[in-house]
Amino acid sequence: MNGSTLSSVTNALRILRLFTPKRQELSFTDIVRHTNLPKSSTHRMIATLVKEGFLSKNPRTNHYRLGLAILSLGGVIFSHRELYKEALPIVKKLSETLDESAHICLLENMDVVYLFRVESRHPDRLLTQIGRKNPIHCTSEGLCILAFQDKRTTQKLLDSELYPYTPCTITDPNDLRALIADIQQNDYCIMKDTYYENYTSIAAPIRDYTGTVVSSLSVIGHSSRITEKKQDMFITVIQNAAQKISRHLGHY
């Protein structure tokens, strides 16, 4: 590692260390002032950290906060998890009631990230570990958040190359638009065989105090258990739990 690269790594770590439980968001000016780095270098460093998921930008304030990629470095507890801590008993109750694995998920750039996970007793090997990033277009938990974002964010996904993980993965932009419209109307998303064959996922949106959809609550299980006969019951229970979590975030 040459001196320039080492200096860049050091400066990146200096920026990340600025964020604390009492200082969860910082503006660009704040970061420049605290690090005493040149504005041009700081701008490039922040752009790289955002691209890699270590920082994210709050669209309402334009301030920066720690990104969800931090979780993958060792399960660091930070503001996002603190925000949802009171909701964890609701997720546990949901998992127990439906006897399936339940998750709280967020969007990070063009991926869905798993913030909390409560496992069921079933030996399912799902790729939904805390901090893991999965594609949006083939997951109910991702689409359930995306459906309520601005048109530019939605269009960015529709314009990207969408990989078919299974024969049932939806990759046609028009089909995805129709599905997004259904999610907006019904306030839930259900997907079957689109990421894992023989698995069904159902998700409902979680809203904050402004009414903005900021995350989703999902249940994923084998399709032999989440049968069509049970789906209406699952949807109702998941939506009710998502509404309870939304109330914890100030949404009434």
CB atoms within 10 A of CB 28: 15
According to the model, what pLDDT value does residue 71 have?
A: 58
Residue 1: which pLDDT band, with cuts at 50, 70 and 90?
Answer: very low
Q: Which of the residue ranges 79-83, 235-239, 245-249 has the most confident prediction, judged by mean pLDDT? A: 235-239
Assign domain 3-66 to its CATH architecture: Orthogonal Bundle (1.10)
- Do 188 and 85 form a contact (C-beta atoms < 8 A)? no
Enumerate the domain spans of the chain: 3-66, 79-248
pLDDT, one tens digit per residue, over 185-231 is: 999 999 999 998 999 999 999 998 888 898 999 999 999 999 999 99
Tell me how far apart the alpha carbons of residues 112 and 137 are, in angstroms, rounded to a whole number: 10
Identify the bridge partners of residue 85 per DSSP, sorted by sequence position: none
Tell me how far apart the alpha carbons of residues 94 and 100 are, in angstroms, rounded to a whole number: 8
Q: Tell me the CATH number of domain 79-248, given options 3.40.190.80, 3.40.640.10, 3.30.450.40, 3.40.309.10.
A: 3.30.450.40
Average pLDDT, the chain: 86
According to the model, what pLDDT value does residue 128 have?
A: 66
Query: Percent of the chain scored above 90 by pLDDT?
Result: 50
Q: Which residue, chain included where needed, has tokens 């974002």?
A: 149
- Do 169 and 195 form a contact (C-beta atoms < 8 A)? yes
Q: What is the mean pLDDT of residues 78-83?
A: 58
According to the model, what pLDDT value does residue 77 have?
A: 39
Tell me how far apart the alpha carbons of residues 232 and 184 are, in angstroms, rounded to a whole number: 17
The pTM of the whole model exceeds 0.85: no
Q: Phi/psi zone of residue 60: left (φ > 0), alpha (ψ -120 to 50 degrees), beta?
A: alpha
Residue 79: which pLDDT band, with cuts at 50, 70 and 90?
Answer: low
Q: Is the pLDDT score of 75 beyond 70? A: no
Alpha carbon 173 to chain centroid, angstroms: 21
According to the model, what pLDDT value does residue 74 have?
A: 45
Q: What is the mean pLDDT of residues 40-58?
A: 86
Tell me how far apart the alpha carbons of residues 252 and 159 are, in angstroms, rounded to a whole number: 35
pLDDT, one tens digit per residue, over 127-183 is: 666 667 889 999 999 999 999 998 888 999 999 999 999 999 999 999 999 999 999
Query: Which residue did the predictor score with more confidence, 76 or 154?
Result: 154
